[in-house]
Structure formats: C-alpha cells, structure tokens
Amino acid sequence: MVSAIVSASLFLTTIQARAASNKYAAIVVDAKTGKVLHSENADSRRYPASLTKMMTLYLTFEAMKSGRINKNTPVPFSVQAAAQPPTKLGVKAGNSITVEQAIYALITRSANDAAMALAELLGGSQQRFALMMTQKARALGMRGTIFRNPNGLPDDGQFTTARDMATLGIALREHFPQYYPYFSVRSFAYGRQRIANHNKLLGRVRGVDGIKTGYTRASGFNLVSSVQDGNRRIVAVVMGGQSGPSRDSRMTQLIAANMPKASSRGGGALVARADGDTSKRTLASLLLPKKDIPTPDGRPAMADERDTDQLASMIQGAQPTQASADQIGAQAYAEEDQAQGDTEPTPTPVAAVNDGKWVIQVASSPSAKEAKAVLARTQDASAVLADASAYTVPFSKDGTTYYRARFSGFASQVEASKACGALKRKKIACYATQQD
C-alpha cells in the first residue's frame, strides 16, 4: 500500500512538473521500423536550441561524403563567426581550424563560432546556409522545422518539433554510418584544453551512443539520444526540460520503458528518406505563422575517408581515463547552462591584489559527493595544490542545487592563474576567480 502511494505521488509530481512547463515534448521512435513507441506533444512547435547543430553536421557529413571537403579541410573564421556568443572555441577572426576539429567542437562543446564558420564554408553566408538546412529538412520529411541559423542561438523564426528531431537523429545514423561514431566521443582535446561532451548519458546509460544536447532559456533543456541494445535500436527526444538533470532523468525513463518495445528484426528500407519536396514548397513554408511555441526572451549576453570500424576505434582510443571522465562529467552541466549566459561567466581579469582571496574552480556538479571526489583527484594530481584548501560552494538554478568545486589560499590573481595554468597542462579544466 505504501509503495503504491509513493509511486502514485511520484507519477503525479512528474505530471504536474510537465504541465507547469509549456515547453515539454517527447517522442521515442523505433529506428529500425519507424514505429512511434511514445509521443507527447511530438508535433508541437518548439525551439531547437543547439539541436540545430545536428543539421549543420548533417550537411557537413554530406559534403565530406561527396568529396567536396575532407576532415583536414581548413575552416576559416570570419569576423561574424568569431563574434558568436558562448559557448565557443574562441578562435580569432582570420584564423582557422580543420573540419574534424569543427565537428568535435559542435558535438562536445556545442561551439557556436565553429557552427557559423562551417555554415560560411559550406553555404557562403548564414542566410544561404539556413535555406540549405531548411531545404534538407523538407527532403527528409521534417515538415515542422524552419532554420534561420546554424547554431541554435535564439531566433523567433527558427523552430522544430520533437518528431522532426527524431527523424534527423535517425537520418544521421542511417545516411552517414561512417561518420556517426563522432557522436560517441566523450571529450575532445583542443590545444591545452580537454573539452567535455555535454551529453552525460554517454557511458552512463546502457546503449546510448549519441547524439546531441541543447539549451536556451526559451527552449529549456533538450536532448536527442540514439540507443542500441542488442538488435534493438531507438531514437528518443526530450524537449523543454526544466534542468539538465531532470531532462536526463526523463530520457533515462523513456529509454528503459520503450527499448523492450522496439523490434529486434526490422531493417530494409531507410526510415529517414527523401520525400521529393521542392525548393518552392520550402520557400513558401518560411511564411508559415508562428504558433504553439514559447516566445523567446531575447538574445543572450554575451576526404580522406575511413570506414565505420576505423573511426569508432580511433574515437574509442581517444577516450579519457575514468578519473578524467568523471571530472569532465562534473563540469558539463554548468558548461551547458553557461552556453546562453545563464550561469556566472568567467570573471573579467582585474589588477592582482595580495588579499589571499583568489580561488581556483575546477568543476560544478549537481552531486556534492562527485564535486568532492573531483577535488580529491585534482589535488592528488598536482603538487601546485599541496597547500591549497579544497571546498565546495552550493548554488541553486531552476530548483536544482549544484556544487562548485574550488581550491582557496592563493595570494593574488597571478598566483591563482599560474596554478590554474599548471592544471591545464595536465588536461584539468579550471579558472581563477575571486572568493565569494
């Protein structure tokens, strides 16, 4: 009886939480047959946020497959690309990275500047690339999607549906099996940084092998997951989550509930296939009225081909150790929030002072235990922290408590920055800030 009451209470709480947010939508599709296994508001318009980058990657993979570009092709950064708001790689205008680095940057950091640079490389301009994205969406049968930019930054004319995002997720795997393993990478080494993948279900939920997270204040927390367990394969979408952890929890529930329903046979014809839509229909659809979608609250502040097995092996070999993977996971929720400026930005440097109030932050986690574990591992990894004091600082966001993992005891900004630099050389992300 008690168990039944508790279960009923938890179910009611879930329903009430979802009803409180008009952003929520979800769908689970059998990726082998196209059968819908679960659907909630699946055809209601929603903001894609960084799920947009899935289409940017689709067109990138298409260009690679055709031989137009390869993984080593330079991707130049224009003034417009370099000026995109965070999260970003921070490449300066006039410099460039490779196509493969840009792919990793989109999948892990969800870098807005790299997405714009790819758009300009492939389309010549943001506007032309956005039209290419929308045309491709129509060709894939994504009838409820309009793209205006390549990265998902707020635009009230850019929208999608959970069903369309599931279609795109299936298409990425079906059409580009040789490139799909990129989505499973846990982290990406760029310069002296190791950049975490925002998708924290990788390696933590059985069968999850990609695809993409997304977040803006207007969209809420979005996630598309591809899952394979034995002969069964599904793609699931959650949009409008109230926090990163709650979104991930809901996705985990959907996977557990629907994977047993998926076909163990299936196969044959592609699930995501072109339907013959024309460019004229695409252009006409740009004029569709905007309804059933949350209103945004403004912009933020500021080939050399290889087969699937070879690429998967290369990516697997690049995975971090368990200790560094755990540390990266602890940092990821805060970094995902920071993508739209919703958490504290990296402090603006000020003149060094000998007040002993400078600290180093190495992680932010929804788990106090995990934050403390990161502190212990980090202190063991570097002698520069031998005399530092480890501590955590709780803060709340969207009803969830997070814990900053910090080291104190630095006499000045210079001293803290020097210690942080030593950590970064060991592939440990950090930044120096003044003590609260």
Alpha carbon distances (Å) from 52 to 72, 110, 131, 137: 23, 10, 13, 11
- Give catalytic status of residue 7 as yes or no: no
Task: Let me know if 92 is exposed, middle or buried by CB neighbors in 10 A (0-12, 13-18, 19+).
Answer: exposed
Alpha-carbon dihedral 193, 194, 198, 204, rounded to 10 degrees: -160
Q: Would you say 67 and 303 are in contact if contact means Cβ atoms under 8 Å apart?
A: yes
Nearest to 170 by CA among 227, 108, 231, 249: 227
Distance CA 238, CA 206 (A): 18
Q: Is 280 annotated as a binding residue?
A: no
Is 243 catalytic? The answer is: no
Cβ of 235: how many Cβ atoms within 10 Å? 26
User: 257-269 burial by CB neighbour count: b if 16+ within 10 A, else e?
Assistant: ebbeebbeebeee
Give residue for tokens 């369309």: 164
Selected catalytic residue, list 23, 44, 50, 226:
50
How far apart are alpha carbons 30 and 232 in whole angstroms? 8
- Catalytic option among 23, 44, 88, 110: 110
Q: Which helix (H) or strand (E) holds 327?
A: helix 322-338
Active site residues: 50, 53, 110
Q: Which residues are annotated as a binding site?
A: 212
Q: Which residues are annotated as a binding site for substrate?
A: 212
